[in-house]
């Protein structure tokens, strides 16, 4: 009889700091990550009201370079990468031929013919293999995920904290590369919380030093180190999808909802034919957002009812610290109206369909 051996979890450059400073760590996407330091709600509110800093070094970084880089990314991505000027960022999906989402990504245009693609932790190797298979023309693709750390500084006071440390700060949805102490760092004015802030990509060996500088610079702003727990509640309030839960290869870009991510009027891209068919009448289900009307906390896998019939499952659910109610996402068949409910701890709690984001300042 064979013994099943669990794969060893990876550690970020900040793992030892997390453990020394009381973080509760859990396995996530093959990594042992800090899920919280004090409480999810306290860290969540710190980001909404002041600032928080997150270790997101598990994210992947893939560089796409060469005179054919733009054409390659246009073929690969659902969004129109030609609209992403040098120094700017754009969100997109990568689809398979059936329109299922291989990953959701951010593309940063660094200089002419050079792009940085930030991918999800669980999909970095899969994405690189998929991109390599689609490669054509003068394109070089490099997976540098193991070389970088990544820190997210988020919240209404995040930029004032960053300004104490860095001379140049990019504008919203922009990026820049800076040479600091002979090391290249990438500053991206993007995030996953619904707040303003920076995502900073830097050499792995410099990550701890910057982390501690940010914490010191943010003391007067009540900045807190935050874990993945708060990152998840923040992103769900903001209506951002989580790959592997709300979006995956079993669901298409059309089904998952953010239609602005799919530019069907651009030249051919992988999955376009399947997505076009769905747009023209073959769509059978879609991702809906729900607010509970009574007390309860929906969780991943909770049953969604329409009338008395189970019509779907919650893909992401939580208690919203800002709205003080339960919120959820889930796929249900098209054209259902009224009288939804979600099972929470064995009870069916009435739920109303709402538009995203759940919370917006």
Domain boundary among 237, 253, 269: 237
Residues whose CB is less than 8 angstroms from the CB of residue 198 and which lie 6 or more positions away in sequence, other chains included: 152, 153, 158, 159, 162, 169, 170, 187, 188, 189, 191
Are the C-beta atoms of residues 290 and 298 closer than 8 Å to each other? yes
* Sheet containing 52-55, strands listed edge to edge, beginning at the edge strand earlier in sequence: 175-180, 183-188, 197-203, 148-154, 52-55, 224-226
Pairing between β-strand 224-226 and β-strand 285-292 as defined by DSSP bridges: unpaired
The reported pLDDT for the residue numbered 1 is 47
CATH at residue 200: 3.30.1360.120
- Residue 336 is part of which domain span? 284-356
Spatial separation of the C-alpha atoms in residues 327 and 272, rounded to whole Å: 32
The reported pLDDT for the residue numbered 347 is 96
- Look at the block and give the residue holding tokens 């669901």: 251
Q: What is the DSSP letter of 53?
A: E
Spatial separation of the C-alpha atoms in residues 80 and 264, rounded to whole Å: 9
Phi then psi for 350, rounded to 5 degrees?
-55, 140
* Chain centroid to CA 110: 20
Q: With respect to residue 84, please indicate whether it lies within any of the assigned structural domains.
A: no
Residue 32, preceding peptide bond in cis (omega within 30° of 0): no
Q: With respect to residue 292, please indicate whether it lies within any of the assigned structural domains.
A: yes
Which residue(s) pair with 243 in the sheet? 247
Domain boundary among 202, 218, 237: 237
Do 169 and 229 reside in the same domain of the chain? yes
Do 156 and 233 reside in the same domain of the chain? yes
Do 182 and 45 reside in the same domain of the chain? yes
Q: With respect to residue 322, please indicate whether it lies within any of the assigned structural domains.
A: yes
The reported pLDDT for the residue numbered 6 is 55
The candidate with the shortest Cα–Cα distance to 264, out of 252, 251, 247, is 252
Do 209 and 328 reside in the same domain of the chain? no
Greatest Cα pair distance, the chain, in angstroms, is 63
pTM above 0.85, yes or no: yes
Q: With respect to residue 251, please indicate whether it lies within any of the assigned structural domains.
A: no
Do 210 and 315 reside in the same domain of the chain? no
Do 216 and 289 reside in the same domain of the chain? no
Which residue(s) pair with 331 in the sheet? 287
Do 184 and 319 reside in the same domain of the chain? no
- 3-state SS of 128-197 is HHHHHHHCCCCCEEEECHHHEEEEEEECCCHHHHHHCCCCCCCCCCEEEEEEECCEEEEEECCCCCCCCE
Spatial separation of the C-alpha atoms in residues 230 and 51, rounded to whole Å: 12
3-state SS, residue 33: strand
- Look at the block and give the residue holding tokens 């999810």: 40
DSSP per-residue codes, 270-291: TTHHHHHHIIIII--EEEEEEE
Residues whose CB is less than 8 angstroms from the CB of residue 354 and which lie 6 or more positions away in sequence, other chains included: 289, 290, 291
The reported pLDDT for the residue numbered 5 is 53
Do 151 and 233 reside in the same domain of the chain? yes
Tens-binned pLDDT, residue by residue, of the chain (361 aa)? 454 555 799 999 999 999 999 999 999 999 999 999 999 999 999 999 999 999 999 999 999 999 999 999 999 999 999 999 999 999 999 999 999 999 999 999 999 999 999 999 999 999 999 999 999 999 999 999 999 999 999 999 999 999 999 999 999 999 999 998 788 999 999 999 999 999 999 999 999 999 999 999 999 999 999 999 999 999 999 999 999 999 999 999 999 987 789 999 999 999 999 999 999 989 999 999 999 999 999 999 999 999 999 999 999 999 999 999 999 999 999 999 889 999 999 999 999 999 999 998 7
Q: With respect to residue 150, please indicate whether it lies within any of the assigned structural domains.
A: yes
**Structure tokens belonging to residue 274:** 């399947």
Pairing between β-strand 89-95 and β-strand 303-306 as defined by DSSP bridges: unpaired
- Number of domains into which the chain is organized: 2
Do 218 and 328 reside in the same domain of the chain? no
Spatial separation of the C-alpha atoms in residues 205 and 194, rounded to whole Å: 29
Q: With respect to residue 69, please indicate whether it lies within any of the assigned structural domains.
A: no
Q: With respect to residue 326, please indicate whether it lies within any of the assigned structural domains.
A: yes
Domain boundary among 180, 209, 237: 237
CATH at residue 324: 2.40.30.110
Q: How many helices (H) and strands (E) are present in the chain, helices listed first?
A: 9, 19
Do 152 and 229 reside in the same domain of the chain? yes
Q: With respect to residue 165, please indicate whether it lies within any of the assigned structural domains.
A: yes
Residues whose CB is less than 8 angstroms from the CB of residue 312 and which lie 6 or more positions away in sequence, other chains included: 285, 303, 304, 330, 331, 332, 333
Do 159 and 297 reside in the same domain of the chain? no
The reported pLDDT for the residue numbered 69 is 98
Do 36 and 152 reside in the same domain of the chain? yes
């Amino acid at each position: 009889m064979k013994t099943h051996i669990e794969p060893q979890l990876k550690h970020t450059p900040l793992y030892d700091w997390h453990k020394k400073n009381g973080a509760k760590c859990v396995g996530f996407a093959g990594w042992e990550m800090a899920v919280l330091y004090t409480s999810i709600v306290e860290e969540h509110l710190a980001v909404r009201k002041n600032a928080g800093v997150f270790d997101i070094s598990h994210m992947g970084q893939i560089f796409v370079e060469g005179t054919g880089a733009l054409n390659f990314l246009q073929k690969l991505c659902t969004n129109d990468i030609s609209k992403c000027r040098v120094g700017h960022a754009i969100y997109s999906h990568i689809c398979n031929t059936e329109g299922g989402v291989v990953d959701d990504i951010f593309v940063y245009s660094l200089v002419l013919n050079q792009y940085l693609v930030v991918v999800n932790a669980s999909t970095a190797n899969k994405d690189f293999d998929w991109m390599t298979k689609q490669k054509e023309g003068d394109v070089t693709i490099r997976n540098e995920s193991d070389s970088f750390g990544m820190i997210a500084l988020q919240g209404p006071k995040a930029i004032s904290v960053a300004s104490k440390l860095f001379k140049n700060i990019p504008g919203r949805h922009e990026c820049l590369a800076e040479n600091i102490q002979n090391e290249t760092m990438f500053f991206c004015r993007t995030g996953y919380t619904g707040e303003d802030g920076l995502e900073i990509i830097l050499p792995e060996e410099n990550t701890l030093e910057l982390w501690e500088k940010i914490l010191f610079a943010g003391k007067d702003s009540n900045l807190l180190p935050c874990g993945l727990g708060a990152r998840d509640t923040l992103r769900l309030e903001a209506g951002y999808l989580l790959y592997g839960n709300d979006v995956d290869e079993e669901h298409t870009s059309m089904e998952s909802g953010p239609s602005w991510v799919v530019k069907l009027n651009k030249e051919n891209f992988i999955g376009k034919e399947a997505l076009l068919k769905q747009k023209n009448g073959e769509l059978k289900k879609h991702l809906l957002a729900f607010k509970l009307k009574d007390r309860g906390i929906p969780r991943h896998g909770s049953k969604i009812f329409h009338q008395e019939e189970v019509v779907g499952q919650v893909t992401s659910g939580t208690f919203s610290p800002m709205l003080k109610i339960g919120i959820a996402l889930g796929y249900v068949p098209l054209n259902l109206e009224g009288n939804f409910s979600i099972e929470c701890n064995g009870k069916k709690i009435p739920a109303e369909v709402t538009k995203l984001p759940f919370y917006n300042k």
